[in-house]
Structure 1
């Protein structure tokens, strides 16, 4: 759809009325005259007014300072995942049950399995564009059906530079966007998304209805001593058991943080996201990365001095997609904070379940970090107003562990 502006639109209607009257009064000889006039009018009008393509709308509902949403960019990506046999088979990223939405995707898009966008994604995936990189990269873009990098994205931020590196460079990523736009146009993704608006709203309503009225964001901001610009949870009708926590920085220095969540079950033909324990853990965990990871990045030279700590856990960490030391460290810290927040807000028994799980998952430094938070950070918040102020203590702990 195009927007020509109110004035141009009025002039166009007037011209159409004049043409019809002329045809009635003078006969068919005037057709060429009026068509020529219309072409001149349209060329002149569109040359002086920006043509805007109507976007698919993000569906969003507020829940205790969290925007819970369905995002057309992530829905498009999940279709590409579904059509990509290598990615889907190796990551189990698509919901296994044959829900009606999945059947609709198959029926609507099956003829595009060999589309260049799918083939290009497969190649990029094999070369490292995997896990959190594809969904995070979509958040740098405008909505479907015409994707382009937003003008206010801070391209110097580590999240953007990492994603571009894993995509094979910004130029390659832009070529991928171009293929996605062709996919949207040729398949009419715009229409597919809009026809499922009611389905998406049911997912949102059912999720919010099943959650407790708890302000997890205030709990996190109090613990980390910092606020973010916005908190956003993206639910997907197709993604399964994969969850990511990126943050997007704009040119004003603001951070919008996200938790992109796959479902964990099906009920009444709808993906489920409303298990309270599952929900609060993911909020605390995925949003926690946006508080922790940047501080680690700011101290990366010092962090890397203790890379020997990765050696005893490397094999098990790589099985969980934590393929380097700083990623593993961030997971340790975020999980330790979740444990402490759980004990503070939900009780010691709940926290013990989490810490036992992390020990069994080879997070062998979890007890040391938990104890450091409990014994030094929490009793001395007058000294450490933010988690960033406290981070040198974690570096000191790494030094001690490394010497051992």
Structure 2
């Protein structure tokens, strides 16, 4: 029986990958068959955002976290010099209730600082984060005015220019271990979608661990902090898992946030058993948790499709046992059934999986 199921999976995968490769030929402008399919780039805006977070977060003890690293020692020194500036205090006061993701996405997509003539935040970005009122818009404008003031006060341009040796070393490190076109092909196959470009945006000023995945104009990209307190990015498997996860957000979020809104609302009581652990991981509601469950299902199924059983199993164990994504195993099984074995579209597979989740776990 197991061999029959295994053969079905292999047959389904080979068929869908063949279809995908035929479709891929239309993207002639995209590099194929090499690691160049994923670009890596440090952005001055993102480094400044990390700089702001480092200096303005009065509760964090960064000196203990990054002892002896030259770049972090420099940031600690700047922190003592600048933490009482009115502009940085106002940024944190005004932005206290807003999410990190908003600012990461904004700083990634906006024109490079400094903005001598200001910057108009796109309305679609404000709407995405439910900032729809005139008061919301005024709040964001005031925050950005203080950001511009602090940019000049902090002399960040000097920091950016005088620490390029660290950025060049990190860029070389990531380019040596970044995923290649094989991972991208399997991601596109699994989600049934494509982007013309894929980009990793690392940061040396962010704290270790975070990742933020977004989509832009036919591009999927994500921002990530260092992997450890030595500001290193030298873990191949971790980078692969992060790429699966964060690029997964670009593929999955728009589906979950549009065609699945009603069923997500109907299953909202399922958040109660995991609310505490989700809040502690900065997922403040059921819709956020659903997105994370499905993207983490990709962390299990994509390595499985690449015959990387150990990574698939370790990702499943970590997310269920360590991170308390209690519905993940069920979601993985249903997605495997609908998307891989039956060949339904990713959108249809997600919708059916959510319906099954409701039947299985709702009273």
TM-score (norm 2): 0.80
- In structure 1, the residue matched to 2:328 is 366
Secondary structure of 1:83 counterpart: helix
In the alignment, the residues of structure 1 paired with residue 63 and residue 262 of structure 2 have an alpha-carbon distance, to the nearest angstrom, of 34
- In structure 2, the residue matched to 1:5 is none
- In structure 2, the residue matched to 1:350 is 311
Q: Does 1:237 pair with 2:240?
A: no
Q: Does 1:337 pair with 2:294?
A: no
In the alignment, the residues of structure 2 paired with residue 146 and residue 393 of structure 1 have an alpha-carbon distance, to the nearest angstrom, of 47
Within the candidate set 85, 100, 105, 1:136 is matched to 105
Within the candidate set 285, 292, 296, 1:324 is matched to 285
What is the CA distance between 1:121 and its match in structure 2? 2.5
Within 5 A, what are the aligned runs for 1:278-293? Answer: 278-293=238-253
Q: Does 1:179 pair with 2:146?
A: yes
- In structure 2, the residue matched to 1:191 is 158
In the alignment, the residues of structure 1 paired with residue 60 and residue 137 of structure 2 have an alpha-carbon distance, to the nearest angstrom, of 25
Q: Does 1:156 pair with 2:119?
A: no
Which segment is superposed worse, 282-291 or 177-186?
177-186
C-alpha distance 97-324 of structure 1, shift in aligned 2 (>3 A): same
Preserved contact between residue 208 and residue 229 of structure 2 (Cα < 8 Å): no
- In structure 2, the residue matched to 1:105 is 75
Q: Does 1:399 pair with 2:361?
A: no
In the alignment, the residues of structure 2 paired with residue 163 and residue 103 of structure 1 have an alpha-carbon distance, to the nearest angstrom, of 38
C-alpha distance 124-154 of structure 1, shift in aligned 2 (>3 A): closer
Preserved contact between residue 65 and residue 229 of structure 2 (Cα < 8 Å): no
- Greater C-alpha radius of gyration: 1
C-alpha distance 71-88 of structure 1, shift in aligned 2 (>3 A): farther
In the alignment, the residues of structure 2 paired with residue 370 and residue 240 of structure 1 have an alpha-carbon distance, to the nearest angstrom, of 31
- What value does the CA root-mean-square deviation take over the aligned residues? 2.9
What is the CA distance between 1:402 and its match in structure 2? 4.2
In the alignment, the residues of structure 1 paired with residue 63 and residue 283 of structure 2 have an alpha-carbon distance, to the nearest angstrom, of 17
Preserved contact between residue 308 and residue 402 of structure 1 (Cα < 8 Å): no
Structure 1: tracts of 5 or more residues without a match: 1-61
What is the CA distance between 1:150 and its match in structure 2? 6.5
C-alpha distance 311-81 of structure 1, shift in aligned 2 (>3 A): same
Which segment is superposed worse, 310-319 or 99-108?
99-108
Preserved contact between residue 244 and residue 261 of structure 1 (Cα < 8 Å): yes
In the alignment, the residues of structure 1 paired with residue 103 and residue 38 of structure 2 have an alpha-carbon distance, to the nearest angstrom, of 23
Secondary structure of 2:123 counterpart: coil
Preserved contact between residue 95 and residue 238 of structure 1 (Cα < 8 Å): no
In the alignment, the residues of structure 2 paired with residue 275 and residue 403 of structure 1 have an alpha-carbon distance, to the nearest angstrom, of 40
Q: Tell me which of the two structures has the higher relative contact order, counting C-alpha pairs closer than 8 angstroms and 6 or more residues apart.
A: 2
In the alignment, the residues of structure 2 paired with residue 140 and residue 161 of structure 1 have an alpha-carbon distance, to the nearest angstrom, of 14
How many residues matched?
328
Preserved contact between residue 240 and residue 262 of structure 1 (Cα < 8 Å): yes
- In structure 2, the residue matched to 1:258 is 221
